[in-house]
């Protein structure tokens, strides 16, 4: 039986090396794919259907905060994603899990903690750091926004992420291999689910869940 396939998405080579060392404990036949920016991570995940786990940093070139998690969940909803971040406050952890992360661990965690977290997710569980009380969302607008984002289908989530990249309908249609009419239908559904009137407002919604998580914890 082949070993696990991991994607390590972090822009710091030294930390990718540390994660590689931790993941090597899961067997010599494991495959560890590296991405130093968000576009590379998206490409790896889109091209490889056999990935067992993605370890994603929240702050890397090409994405901002939790918007990267939202984008990857839309790209490949079946692949578990664990956030590995220095932004490890209670609020960020809770929001990441609510948006579909399968786990969250701090970059300051010991290797044995990281391995335990990875094993928990590989076994189908959800990992949260020990001793962390996730509490309740204090911002009702963010809570509502998270619920609205979770109501999007994976394809709608992909379209929203592409809108945030500035792509036109015809470009999105080409990327997804669908008609422009289908893209327009997705955009209309996105606007309705997010409760906004324009593409620009929809992109602002996504940016709020992205940048807010990091700026408030820095």
Assigned CATH topology for domain 5-122: Rossmann fold (3.40.50)
* CA distance from start to end of the chain: 43
Domain borders along the chain are: 5-122, 140-215
- Residue 1, pLDDT > 60, answer no
Q: What is the C-alpha to C-alpha distance for residues 149 and 5, in angstroms, rounded to an integer?
A: 28
Which helix (H) or strand (E) is 104 found in, with range?
strand 103-106
Q: Are 67 and 86 in contact (CB under 8 A)?
A: no
As given in the structure block, the two tokens for residue 31 are 């495959």
**Amino acid 214: pLDDT:** 42
Res 210: pLDDT: 65
- pLDDT at residue 2, rounded to an integer: 65
217: confidence class by pLDDT, cuts 50, 70, 90: very low
How far is residue 109's CA from residue 97's CA, in Å, rounded to a whole number?
18
Separation of alpha carbons 134 and 129, rounded Å: 10
Q: Token pair of 73, please?
A: 């969940």
- Say how far apart CA 132 and CA 135 lie, in whole Å: 9
pTM of the model: 0.86
Other C-beta atoms lying within 10 Å of the C-beta of residue 22: 22
- Identify the CA nearest to 42 among candidates 17, 19, 24, 67: 67
Is pLDDT above 80 for 180? yes
CA-to-CA distance for 145 and 202, rounded, in angstroms? 11
Name the strands in the sheet holding 31-35, side by side, starting at the edge strand that comes first in the sequence.
31-35, 5-9, 53-56, 81-85, 103-106
Q: Residue 80: its pLDDT value, please?
A: 95
Give me the pLDDT at residue 209, please.
80
Q: What is residue 139's predicted lDDT score, i.e. its pLDDT?
A: 75
Mean of the per-residue pLDDT values of the chain: 87
Task: List pLDDT tens digits, range 29-71.
Answer: 889 999 999 999 999 998 877 899 999 998 887 776 788 899 8
| pLDDT bracket for residue 216 (50, 70, 90) | very low
Pick the CATH number of 140-215 from 3.40.1160.10, 1.20.1250.20, 3.90.1170.30, 1.10.10.10: 1.10.10.10
């Amino acid at each position: 039986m082949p070993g696990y396939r991991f994607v390590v998405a972090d822009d710091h080579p030294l930390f990718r090396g540390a994660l590689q060392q931790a993941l090597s404990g899961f067997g010599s036949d494991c495959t560890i794919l590296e991405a130093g920016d968000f576009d590379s991570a998206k490409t790896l995940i889109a091209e490889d259907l056999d990935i067992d786990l993605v370890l994603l940093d929240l702050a890397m070139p090409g994405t901002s905060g939790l918007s990267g998690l939202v984008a990857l969940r839309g790209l490949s909803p079946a692949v578990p994603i664990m956030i590995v971040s220095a932004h490890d406050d209670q609020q960020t952890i809770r929001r990441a899990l609510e948006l579909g992360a399968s786990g969250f661990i701090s970059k300051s965690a010991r290797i044995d903690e990281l391995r335990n977290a990875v094993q928990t997710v590989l076994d189908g569980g959800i990992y949260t750091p020990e001793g962390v009380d996730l509490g309740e969302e204090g911002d009702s607008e963010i809570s509502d926004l998270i619920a609205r984002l979770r109501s999007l289908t994976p394809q709608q989530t992909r379209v929203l992420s592409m809108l945030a990249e500035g792509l036109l309908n015809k470009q999105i249609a080409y990327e997804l291999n669908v008609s422009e009419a289908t893209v327009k239908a997705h955009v209309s559904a996105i606007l309705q689910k997010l409760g906004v009137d324009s593409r620009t407002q929809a992109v602002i919604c996504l940016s709020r869940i992205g940048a807010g998580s990091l700026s408030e914890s820095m």
